[in-house]
């Protein structure tokens, strides 16, 4: 349909266009999901080049399988499931699969050290702050958008365990809903939130050391 801007955000329009060989539709799809697919694959396999292969295999499966797509899930979920299956298979072959049930066993997930709170036997305020956080609002707002800040966020995410990295990437970078993340990663809502909470806690802590230099 030259000259007509098709609404590819509508799955029906997109799938129909893909089936008739519309290159604009496929290009739109690749541009929209490739970076996120690659981020997700990196959580499962050993190297960026293997992740690239997994993502390319996924796209080839989409190309050849689009006629069999039945629309029981969104196209996006369907594509991500293909990716997850291929990445898991590759990860297992490389002995690098990550069981989602393996949580760190510390009870504190928020990233705040227990010694920042009054002890449970405190006569006045048990469990309340003894060393409260300093507000970041006093920091110039531009600080949050600075390259230095984004680098700190990126580094913090790169150092997360793969399962936490995948959840925070899909939720907070790609803006997925918790339902979509649970669906694609086969997680319960509870597990998904624990992983997300731990991941955000670590990113917050790395920002705290940047935005509040009085704290180590």
Partner 1 sequence: MTTAQPPDLPPDLPCIQFVELVTEYLDDALTPDQRARVDAHLEACPYCADVLAQWQMTIEATGRLREDEVDLIDPTVRQSLMTAFREARPVS
- Chain positions contacting partner 1, by CB under 8 A: 18-23, 26-27, 30-31, 34-35, 38-39, 52, 56, 59-60, 63-64, 66, 108-110, 112, 114, 117, 125-129, 132-137, 144-145, 149-150, 153-154, 157, 168, 172-175, 178, 189, 193, 196-197, 200, 203-204, 207-208
Residues 55, 38 contacting (CB under 8 angstroms): yes
Q: Which is nearer to partner 1, 84 or 170 (CB)?
A: 170
Q: Which is nearer to partner 1, 178 or 183 (CB)?
A: 178
Burial state string for 108-122 with b = 16 or more CB within 10 A and e = fewer than 16: ebebbeeeebbeeee
Nearest to 7 by CA among 69, 79, 22, 72: 22
What Rg value do the Cα atoms of the chain yield, rounded? 21
CB of 53 to partner 1, least distance (A): 11
DSSP string, 128-159: SBSSPPPPGGGS-THHHHSHHHHHHHHHHHHT
Q: Which is nearer to partner 1, 34 or 81 (CB)?
A: 34
CB of 127 to partner 1, least distance (A): 3
């Amino acid at each position: 349909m030259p000259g007509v801007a098709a609404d590819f955000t509508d799955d029906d329009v997109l799938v129909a266009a893909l089936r008739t060989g519309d290159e604009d539709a496929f290009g739109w799809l690749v541009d929209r999901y490739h970076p996120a697919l690659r981020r997700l694959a990196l959580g499962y396999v050993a190297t960026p080049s293997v992740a690239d292969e997994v993502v390319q295999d996924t796209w080839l499966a989409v190309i050849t399988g689009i006629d069999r797509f039945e629309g029981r899930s969104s196209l996006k979920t369907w594509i991500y499931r293909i990716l997850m299956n291929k990445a898991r298979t590759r990860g297992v072959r490389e002995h690098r699969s990550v069981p989602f049930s393996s949580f760190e066993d510390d009870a504190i997930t928020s990233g705040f050290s227990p010694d920042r709170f009054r002890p449970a036997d405190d006569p006045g305020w048990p469990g309340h702050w003894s060393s409260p956080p300093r507000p970041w609002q006093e920091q110039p707002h531009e600080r949050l958008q600075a390259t230095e800040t984004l680098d700190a966020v990126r580094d913090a995410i790169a150092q997360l365990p793969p399962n936490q990295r995948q959840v925070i990437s899909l939720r907070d970078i790609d803006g997925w809903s918790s339902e979509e993340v649970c669906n694609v990663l086969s997680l319960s809502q509870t597990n998904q939130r624990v992983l997300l909470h731990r991941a955000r806690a670590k990113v917050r802590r790395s920002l705290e050391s940047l935005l509040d230099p009085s704290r180590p």
